[in-house]
Amino acid sequence: MHRSPEQILSDLIQINSTNPPGNETAVAVYLKGLFKDAGVESEIIEPEEGRGSFIARIGSGPKKLLYLSHSDVVPVGEGWDFEPFSGMIKDGVIYGRGALDCKDLMAAQVSAALQLVEENFSWQGELIIAVTADEESGGHLGIEYLLQNHPDKIKADYAVNEGADHPVMLDGKMIYFLQVGEKGTAWCSLKARGTSGHGSVPTDADNAVVKLSRAVTRLNNYWAKTILVPEVEKLLGSIAEMSGIDKSLVRPSEIDKLLEIIPLDKSFIESLRSITRMTVSPNMISGGIKTNIVPDYCEASVDIRIMPGQDCQYVEAELRPIIGKEIEVEFNEYQPPTFSSSEEPFYKLMEKTTLDLTGVNTVCLPIVSASMTDSKFLRRAGIPSFGIGHMDKGFNPETRTTVHGKNERIDAASLHLKTAFLKELASRYLS
């Protein structure tokens, strides 16, 4: 009998795959051992030493379903209440970096697949388990590399990945989300140039730090126009209806008013706000070389997330009146938004499987992510991709803030629900 989902997750957390530097091959080697014990062949594809991705293919037939997760995690930072790579299991909770992003999904996908193998499931198609490197740094050594160099190994009808928000409780019902799309990115650097001089006579110089600081302050007060994509309109309409709010507020000019009165947690409300418009966040600024020298150069890094129909040219046209003519804009990361349809039969299957497993007083809705996942590469390659964030009804909502934060953890009941969902979904689609 294979290891339980929580044992697998604990083992995975104990493999430090912080990116950078990655060390994802160590995760792939561990998974290869699990599948070998189950009599399933697998392979590790390593574009650079230590940066391996894992692929296992189970069953055969015309249908192909891809379960995707990533093996790298973000750095831990300071202030944890426990050892971040302990993988400790205590009182029904698994602790450590990656417990929610996304070694939990990996453990659930692997466990679901191995359970089907153990039960001699009658495969009428192929289940592909892909655990890829480098997602936290853009996916270039992971899923992007596989699609460019080994597309046949992961080509599928549909994919299930991370990406959906955790469930929320509203009007006595638990809302489960299925992610159908992601905003794009248009990250840029803003550059100010001035004239250096002695710090004791600042009026005889032109301070680039001051110049850029003024532009960044104005930028922080910028609000983009509201845009409602169909999936978000459906999402907000359903939430409004469940809240007893007039659905006429679900229109671009009234969205902020609607968000003020929806009775949900502020962090979730702000995530809803962010998928209704372009967002601009100046997150790093640097300039100057010495306290007594007026700086002649300053640079800021700005995280910009864009909506459908927006690109770098659109972004610069929006920013220029705010930052002024003197500030230079240089784009260094552009990824367009990507979407899969909630009208796909597979989406309907995911929805029904969720509702069947979670029982009465459950609702399932499509959602769009403000951030990006490896699904963007799959969608561009023609593979419809959907994200999940399933958690047990008793999960602690405070754990939301531990993703990319400190004290990351997941309860075993939620991990078992994910596993049961993925096992049932694969069995329904591939039987």
For 184-243, give the DSSP string: EEEEEEEEEE-B-EETT-GGGSB-HHHHHHHHHHHHHT--PPB---HHHHHHHHHHHHHT
pLDDT of residue 430 exceeding 90? yes
Q: What is the pLDDT of residues 258-317, one digit of tens each?
A: 999 999 999 899 999 999 999 999 999 999 999 999 999 999 999 999 999 999 999 999
The confidence band for 377, taking pLDDT boundaries of 50, 70 and 90, is very high
pLDDT of residue 1 exceeding 90? no
The CA-atom distances, in angstroms, between 115 and each of 4, 37, 355, 422 are 10, 13, 22, 11
The CA-atom distances, in angstroms, between 133 and each of 94, 194, 322, 374 are 22, 42, 39, 10
Per-residue pLDDT, averaged over 150-166, amounts to 97
Give the pair of three-digit tokens for residue 179: 């992610």
pLDDT above 90 covers a percentage of the chain that reads 97
pLDDT for res 2: 73
pLDDT of residue 90 exceeding 90? yes
182-335: CATH class: alpha beta
Q: Residue 136: which region, alpha, beta or left (left: phi > 0; alpha: psi -120 to 50)?
A: alpha
The pTM for the full model equals 0.95
Q: What is the pLDDT of residues 38-86, one digit of tens each?
A: 999 999 999 999 999 999 999 999 999 999 999 999 999 999 999 999 9
Per-residue pLDDT, averaged over 156-162, amounts to 98
Contact 124, 116 (CB under 8 A): no
At 360, which amino acid appears?
A: V
**CATH number for the segment(s) 5-167+363-429:** 3.40.630.10
The radius of gyration of the chain's CA atoms, rounded to the nearest angstrom, is: 23
The confidence band for 359, taking pLDDT boundaries of 50, 70 and 90, is confident
- Residue owning tokens 């990361």: 333
Which has the closest alpha carbon to 393: 239, 170, 232, 240?
170
pLDDT of residue 179 exceeding 90? yes
The total of other beta-carbon atoms located within 10 Å of residue 203's CB is 8
Per-residue pLDDT, averaged over 332-356, amounts to 97
pLDDT for res 105: 98
pLDDT of residue 20 exceeding 80? yes
Domain range summary for the chain, segments of one domain joined by +: 5-167+363-429, 182-335
Per-residue pLDDT, averaged over 104-112, amounts to 98
pLDDT for res 33: 98
pLDDT of residue 210 exceeding 90? yes
pLDDT of residue 241 exceeding 80? yes
Q: What's the chain's average pLDDT?
A: 97
Specify the length of the chain in residues: 431
